[in-house]
Structure 1
Amino acid sequence: MLYDNNDGLPMDQVRLMETRVLVKLKESWVALPYIWNEAQTEAFLDVAGDSTNLTLVKNDSEEQFTYIVPDANECAGCHADGKSRKLVKPIGPRIRHLNRDLVYADGKQNQLDYWTAHGLLTGVDSTTATQNALWPNGRAGETLEHRARSYLDINCAHCHNPKGAAKNSGLWLTWDTTTPVRLGFCKPPVAAGKGTGDRKVAIQPGDPDGSILLYRMQSNDPGEMMPELGRSTSHAEGVALVSEWIASLEGDC
């Protein structure tokens, strides 16, 4: 999903941990992880990755967790194209992720229109292009389904698509997936192992607690959680959104 602001990070409340860089070589891309120093003044290349014990403070509660910076080879887990783990390439962004208003020096304007007006983009009409929902509450009139599908699209669909690293799962979470079983409705797992949490299908309409998708979003077990990389805690707000959407679905497997 897209954040409904462009004010940058509140540095008095943020600690920078890593910056991941994709570099285009002559015939390929290479993934490079940089780790920020304690002083927050510079990031240094470390292809082996890193791990740091941290405390997440939120809503007067604390959660201990280990922040893991993936090593350079692990980047292929998401950035490979599904044909070979060596063929690393950028994941996005997509037009639907960029189709939003931003505040520029000369006022608010749609990002795609701004780029077009400044010669950075051609052939795109923002009024007809698809548009993901804004996080966290969406725009006026956006449905619960659109908000939940947008969340899954930007957080999961880079792997869960017909050409992605998770294509063999048969679970495709792109915004334009329309076949119910491909989206996970009543879909048995292909090879989830213990990641099923003893649930039978990816999405059990009307039953979030009976859905593998939600179980893997909630889990912090490295052998169960989704995404497999890039997170160390469960995103409670995202879980709540997808749970609400699944609960609203009608039907019975």
Structure 2
Amino acid sequence: MGIPRVLYGLTAALALAGCEGASSPGPEPTFIADGNPPTLSDWGMLAARDGQLIAGEGVEPYDLVTPLFSDHAGKFRTVWMPEGASAHYSEDGVFDFPVGTVITKTFFYANGPDGGLMRGDEATNVWAEPEVLDLSRVHLVETRILVRREEGWTALPYVWNAEQTEARLMRTGDAQTFEVASAAGGINTVNYLVPNVNQCAGCHATNNTTRQIQPIGPAARHLNREFDYAEGTGNQLEHLIAVGYLTGAPAAGDAPRAADWTDTSLPIGDRARAWLDINCAHCHNPAGPADTSGLYLDPGTEWGPNFGLCKTPIAAGPGSGGHRYDIVPGDPDQSILIFRLESLRPDVMMPELGRSIVHEESVALIREWIETLDGDCDA
């Protein structure tokens, strides 16, 4: 049996109350069964208070082993379920979440010392304490909500105001431009796109037959990692079990775990496949929107032609760049996969949504991986 959620929350609250400078209590979460609440605060999942972004009571933060790339934005992810509700474990796919589940993902950049913005995905000093963002150190852009209602999942995008005090619903999406610096000194012009409610389905409708949207990240292999909680560091799967949010799960050591794409101690093939999984496999799987491409980048696809090895494209048009194969062993420059990851043309670039710049580090990883592959497509 896990720790009862009320007792667990009370224990954590008492621990925080004794800490100097601890955050104020979070808002009261609410499941809104229908309609489109105009402000993020209507949900009670997150609140900007006293210079901090804090999660509501019982709202659990989480992170992914390898996250999806979004123009170098940092992300603060949370999940909440009504009292007595829990998700059921799945070994291969996203967990089966109950009606009433609310998942949030807040995108931010770090505030630089010169008043400009810096990459959020490499920022380490933006947390006031575990689970709490310091609003003096970040610029909030948007918070996306996925809510599990009776009829299925609903996606709602909320855009933060200039004062960083509230986020308002923008069903038609939004576009903003930022100059974002990296720790190494380079600067990218980011044409940041907040998706409209229809574009959300471009990634989250992972089954091309049903076209129903669902979460992408909350699967065992993506969550099986350590996280710095307010009460201490612990495995995320074990933590979700303890607070009553997950049932039917094995011990963390028996659950699948995706590779951390940045961990150079791991085999490069595992790292490359983990990045392609989280960034591409929600479309490129046998049931996904890219099912007719014949290119499947999900973990269940065995290494071979279906994963792109010496595979000729199907109706790729300009997306082939004049190249013959998706992946040419030993030759990244002749591989369509690299061509599309490096492109910024709307009719060529992959992934199609969520980026306006090239993710140089991941392209370098995929290049290095292809260079290690043996074989000859024309043999």
- Higher normalized strand content (fraction of residues): 2
Report whether the alignment pairs 1:127 with 2:253.
Answer: yes
- From the superposition, tell whether residues 217 and 111 of structure 1 become closer, same or farther in structure 2 (CA, over 3 Å): same
Q: CA deviation at 1:179?
A: 4.1
Corresponding residue SS for 1:168: helix
Corresponding residue SS for 2:252: coil
- From the superposition, tell whether residues 88 and 109 of structure 1 become closer, same or farther in structure 2 (CA, over 3 Å): closer
**Within-5 A mapping of 1:197-212:** 197-212=321-336
- From the superposition, tell whether residues 14 and 215 of structure 1 become closer, same or farther in structure 2 (CA, over 3 Å): farther
What's the counterpart of residue 21 of structure 1? 145
Corresponding residue SS for 2:188: strand
**Corresponding letter in the other structure for 1:35:** V
CA offset digits 1:144-190 (Å, max 9, x no partner): 11111111111111111111111111111112321411111011111
Report whether the alignment pairs 1:94 with 2:158.
Answer: no
In structure 1, what is the Cα distance between the partners aligned to 2:355 and 2:140? 15
What's the counterpart of residue 56 of structure 1? 180
Corresponding residue SS for 2:140: coil
What's the counterpart of residue 161 of structure 1? 285
In structure 1, what is the Cα distance between the partners aligned to 2:261 and 2:138? 19
In structure 2, what is the Cα distance between the partners aligned to 1:10 and 1:147? 31
In structure 2, what is the Cα distance between the partners aligned to 1:249 and 1:35? 43
Q: TM-score scaled to structure 1, two decimals? A: 0.89
Q: Which runs of 5+ in 2 are unaligned?
A: 1-64, 68-121
**Within-5 A mapping of 1:1-253:** 1-2=65-66, 14-58=138-182, 59-80=184-205, 81-85=207-211, 87-121=212-246, 122-137=248-263, 140=265, 142-253=266-377
Q: CA deviation at 1:25?
A: 2.8
In structure 2, what is the Cα distance between the partners aligned to 1:13 and 1:205? 44
Q: What RMSD, in angstroms, separates the aligned Cα atoms of the two structures? A: 2.3
Q: TM-score scaled to structure 2, two decimals? A: 0.61
Bigger Cα displacement from structure 2, 172-181 vs 2-11: 2-11
**Corresponding letter in the other structure for 1:120:** Y
In structure 2, what is the Cα distance between the partners aligned to 1:157 and 1:11? 33
**Corresponding letter in the other structure for 1:2:** T
**Corresponding letter in the other structure for 2:330:** G
In structure 2, what is the Cα distance between the partners aligned to 1:155 and 1:143? 19
- From the superposition, tell whether residues 66 and 206 of structure 1 become closer, same or farther in structure 2 (CA, over 3 Å): same
Rg (Cα) greater in structure: 2
Q: CA deviation at 1:83?
A: 1.1
Q: CA deviation at 1:76?
A: 1.3
CA offset digits 1:71-100 (Å, max 9, x no partner): 111111122221154x22323421000111
8 A contact 2:344–2:358 mirrored in 1: yes
